[in-house]
Structure formats: structure tokens, C-alpha cells
Structure 1
């Protein structure tokens, strides 16, 4: 595993690197960095598995730097290092794999590395497989995958084209009124101008789909007055396939635990989560609740069979995806207590306390 360590204090960098060299096996510290302005370039050059990032630096906010790293290289994991527990909640909201309080000790770092290795293993197992049919991804951002190729993002001509496609895909199989589309995307334009923008954008979407080999997805006029209907043809849509598989699951049991775990891990993020489309929020929440109920079923199964560490992994994943789900903090406190993990109990207590304080601010 390759790691980059970032801290503006040289002594803290040396101490953390020394712990890796003497107490942690299987980690190659490819670079240490004390200048936060060099981090993004360094990460891009080395492509590490994980970045250990100090939060409190004089000139740069470590949390904002973490956001920049995640937006440019979403597959790289981040572990925040901080002397202030008040940053913990924000760290988890950024989907950090963990956060560590200073001064860092080897036992706490070993726990972090255990979580990190488990997550990297799961990510490797859940990488998109070769598909037999064209595939559309809607978790987080819209991507596509052709048979025999890797998933790719779609380069839209404009952000309006992307949103129009997303809205038609969201309503696939149904006729969408032209006036609804123009009101959604061009509310400030006069009707003739808005309609012209709509026609032009539909044309560009069709051209984009043809260019990337996804022209089995069609957008047809219903009639001159009504609107448009999108059909995905033979293409499959990830959220649709995921929900169908979820609904077909039998009651949780050890015989089905691998299926439950696979479907749990396939929920990679919110529906169209990278885009601030208010019209998608109901579907986001619906899918989140489906996944949360599934996660609770899986966690309960592990607890009932004494697989406490597996249950911890499930609830920590829920906590990272849904940091406002307060029940997970209490459940993790109980689980860590049953394992005799005092540090884990304290960590969850501080996270819960920080959330409460934040709500009262």
C-alpha cells in the first residue's frame, strides 16, 4: 500500500513516518509533504492508495484540501489527522476512511490501517465487471460502460445538456411535457427562445450519445404538442438493477450473507449525488432509505451470529455515507464496548457530542 503524509510540522511528519517504518507492515510512504500547496500535484504524480492529511495548517484548510483531492481523484482514500476533535464530524462528511487524534500512537494507527485494507479489498472486489450490455451509472455521477470497456464519464456540451439528459433519464419511459422542460431549465427566457434552446440541446444530446456509442438510448418526440420520451433500449441502469436485486433477496441468513454484502457495497453513493438537482432529492432519499434498511438487516445478522467486527464495518460505512443517522453512533458505541475497544467507544462518543454541539450552534 502506498501512502503520502501531509503535515506542515516537520516533527509530526517524522514521527508519523517513523511509526510506519517500525510498527506498520506493508505500507510504502512514497512521499512526505510539509507544503500544502504541493499536495494535489504530488498526489496526482504518485497516485497513492491513501493520504494522511493534517487538518489544521496555517495557510490552507486541510478539510478543503481533502475536498480538492477527492474531487480530482475520488479513488484515493483520506485519513485526517488532527489535534482538535471538533473537526471529526466534518471529516466523516467528506467520506474520509478515518480520522486520528494527535499525538498519533501505533495501536490507533494499526486500527486505521486494518479498516483501510478492508475497504480497499472490498473496493477491489466490487469494481465494475465486464458487462454484456451497455450500462448507465447513476450513483454519484452519470457514467456509461460499453461491453468490453471500462466505465467512462460523459463529456456534455453544456451543463444544461447534462441536466436535461439526467431529467429525461430520471423519467425514462414517460412522456415529459415540453413546457415542463423549458420551465425547469430556462425559466427566465421567453417561451419561443426557451423552446429553441430545448430543441438545440436535445440535438446535442443525441449527437453526444451517438459519438460515445450509446445511441441505443433514444429521445423521441411524443407529438408536436406534448414533449419527449427517453428510452434506454437494451442498456441497463445501475440503480434499477440494484433495486431489483435488493427486492429479490430472501430473508437474511448466513447462507445469503455474501449476496447481502455485495448489494450493500454496490451502493456507491447518492443517486445523481454529484449534481445539485433538487428534482432528484425524493429519489435520493428513497434509495438511501432502502440501502439503510438493508444495511441494518446485514448488521443485525452479523451481531446475531457474534460477528461483531463485521457489524462494526457495516455501521462505519453507514456512518460515512449517512453521517446524520444518529442511531449508528449509539450502535457503534455498544459494539466497540462489547469488543473492549475503549478508543472506539471514545471516538464515537466524541463524534456524537460534536454533532450535538454543531446542531446547537
Structure 2
């Protein structure tokens, strides 16, 4: 989401620009000012990604305001608004991203927003390129510069689970007694305390040997630990932020939606039977399934039939009991005249549910299938 600040002494022009930007789902207008001095004062706290700044203003004009704004927000992009072409050279001398002629046209404004989005993605990639990444979809692993770190060797399964639990509760206090109860419930408190200290030492040593910049801070006054992850990227966080930031799927952002769909490599810590992870596992799975079904529906409505089939098939492969993905496959097969595939998919679903869960397909699917069969019989 692009955070935008608007500055124009003409109230009507300011309102028109704000209305156009609010129609764009990728933009959030965080402030609109007719007084440039107040905008400069507020800018440091608002920290916008972009400032749309009118040049011709009485008192503190746009060029002067831009210099002050760049001191307050050095990373913020400036887009100048002007009624005159001859300001362009001066605008770009101030490292402005763009300048727009007034009255601003929607089509031209969209191009500026697209440039902002592209630059934001590039800056994010540069920022993340050399950071250590912790991956926790399916299995727990580490990467740096896109390459897996192979020198992580957990001494015991308990040390791995302890680290995974601290990561799960990253940047939050986790009590010593809670860890003992979770990891060593059937051992005397004295012995379990010794095991906890030993395991914490093993985890710290393992991270140190792998040169992973993570701190496990002891909170002696409260008797517990905090894992600080400010210097690392965590795949589940980056993935969920990406899902939340993207507007509804369309032809322009389809590739990014596809990237996030593919990014989900499996359930959160799916390789381990950590009961404490189940709630988060279910939550992230629900987000992915909702996103996947939206992808499949978009592909179907956009006549991207092979892509729709691929999405539905991956969902079925990962979650065989998710009936709606089977139903989606049946409908897509029907749309391309693959009657045998419709029957095969329905029978496969019915057999799977009966064998493993002793139930039949949902009434919605069964009714659709029976009507489909009758319709096809009449065609013969």
C-alpha cells in the first residue's frame, strides 16, 4: 500500500486529486493540506511514501517546501503538481519522481502510481536481498542471499522445538515455567529447569555457529526469554503482509498473486507434530485456501482454463478433503466439455469421503452433479 500525502493551496484541486487517489486500491491518502508549512511539520510523523506537492503556492512555494520535506523524510518520493511545463527542470533537479500538469488527468496519475509501485518493489527487494530468511512453511529452515544455510544442526529435537516456539512467539515474553510444562511435563521441576538452561544454551550456540543474527534475551526478573527477530525476514510474515497489501486480483497484478500462491510451500511447520502450532497452521491455511479459490475463479472467468485447473489441482493435492476445490474442477471440466473428467472427479471425491470419513459429498455438489447428469442424458 502506497502512503500518500497531498499538498495544494487550491482546495478544489486538492479535493479532486484526493478523490482520484482514493479510487485506487493500492493508495492510502494519509493527509491533505492546503498549508505547506503544516504539511512539512506533519510529514516526519506521517512518513509518507510519496508527497504530491503543488509548486505555485504563496509564501512557502513547492520548491522550497520540497527541500524542507526531504530533510524531514529523506526516503519519501516527491511528485510535483504544476500548471506550467517550465518547472520540470527544476523539479527533477530536486530528485522528484515525477511532475504532473494540472488539471491532473486520471490516466497520467495512474502511470505515476505504477512507477511508485515498481520502485517500492525494487527497494524492498534490495533491502531484503542480503538478509537471513527463516522459512517455516512445511519445514523450519534458514536462507541467506537466496541460498539455504546447511550448517544448522539442532542438537536435539527439543532444541529445535524450543527455537520454533520462541520464533512462534517472536518479540514476546515466554515464561520459563510455561516452556518447562510444554517440553518436559513429566520430569521433576529441578531436572526440567536444568534441561531448559542446557537447551537454551544449545540453541544460542547453534545460531552463533551459523552466524545468524538472532538474540534470545533472558528476562531474569520475570523468569523467561524473548527471541528478537528485528534483523531477520520470516516467510509467513512476509507472505501474509503481501496477501493483505494486494488489491483484488486483476490482469495487472495477476503475476504477483501467482507468486504469493506459489510461495505457500505447505502448512506452517507442517513437518512437525507441534500441537501449539495448530491454531496458526489452520489460520494460515484458511488464508491460502481463500486466496487460491479467488485465483481459480479469476482464471476461470478470464478464460485462463489451464491456469484454473492448475490452481484447483494443487489445492486438491495439498488438501484432498477440501470439497470446493473438487467442485471447482468439476465445473471447469464441464465448461470445456470433458464429461468423463467430471464423472471421474465426482466419483473420486465420493469414494474418498466415504472411505476416510464415512460421509458423502455435500448436498450442493451432489445436487449439481445429478442435475448435470440429467442434462447430459437429455442431450444424448
Tell me the CA shift for residue 149 of structure 1: 3.2
2:169 and 2:242 mapped to 1: Cα distance?
A: 21
The answer for the alignment partner of 1:99 in structure 2 is none
CA distances 1:255-313 after superposition (whole Å, capped 9, x unpaired)? 11111111000000000000000100000000001101111111111111122221111
1:349 and 1:251 mapped to 2: Cα distance?
A: 30
Gaps of 5+ in 1: 1-129
Tell me the CA shift for residue 153 of structure 1: 7.4
The answer for the alignment partner of 2:205 in structure 1 is 207
CA distances 1:309-340 after superposition (whole Å, capped 9, x unpaired)? 21111111111111111111111111111112
The answer for the alignment partner of 1:134 in structure 2 is 132
CA distances 1:238-262 after superposition (whole Å, capped 9, x unpaired)? 0011011111101111111111111
Scaled by the length of structure 2, the TM-score of the pair is 0.59
Between the two proteins, the alignment pairs up a number of residues equal to 231
Scaled by the length of structure 1, the TM-score of the pair is 0.62
Tell me the CA shift for residue 226 of structure 1: 2.7
The answer for the alignment partner of 2:311 in structure 1 is 314
Q: How big is the alpha-carbon RMSD for the aligned residues of Structure 1 and Structure 2?
A: 1.6
2:253 and 2:144 mapped to 1: Cα distance?
A: 30
Contact between 1:136 and 1:144, CA under 8 Å: does it hold in 2?
yes
Tell me the CA shift for residue 151 of structure 1: 4.9
CA distances 1:126-180 after superposition (whole Å, capped 9, x unpaired)? xxxx932111100111100123633547321000000000000000000001000
2:167 and 2:135 mapped to 1: Cα distance?
A: 11
Query: What are the residue-to-residue correspondences of 1:99-114 with 2, within 5 Å?
Result: none
The answer for the alignment partner of 2:143 in structure 1 is 145
Contact between 2:321 and 2:353, CA under 8 Å: does it hold in 1?
no
The answer for the alignment partner of 1:178 in structure 2 is 176
2:263 and 2:146 mapped to 1: Cα distance?
A: 20
Contact between 1:144 and 1:153, CA under 8 Å: does it hold in 2?
no
The answer for the alignment partner of 2:167 in structure 1 is 169
Q: 1:188 aligns with which of 181, 186, 189?
A: 186
The answer for the alignment partner of 2:226 in structure 1 is 229
Gaps of 5+ in 2: 1-127, 360-380
CA gap of 1:345–1:151, structure 2 versus 1, over 3 A, is farther
1:318 and 1:327 mapped to 2: Cα distance?
A: 10
Contact between 2:141 and 2:148, CA under 8 Å: does it hold in 1?
no
Matched, 1:303 2:303: no
Moved over 4 A (4+): none
Which one has more relative contact order, counting CA pairs under 8 Å at least 6 apart?
A: 1
Rg (Cα) greater in structure: 2
Contact between 1:175 and 1:226, CA under 8 Å: does it hold in 2?
no
CA distances 1:326-358 after superposition (whole Å, capped 9, x unpaired)? 111111111111112234223312221212321
1:350 and 1:154 mapped to 2: Cα distance?
A: 46
The answer for the alignment partner of 2:342 in structure 1 is 345
Q: For 2:268, what is the secondary structure of its paired residue?
A: coil
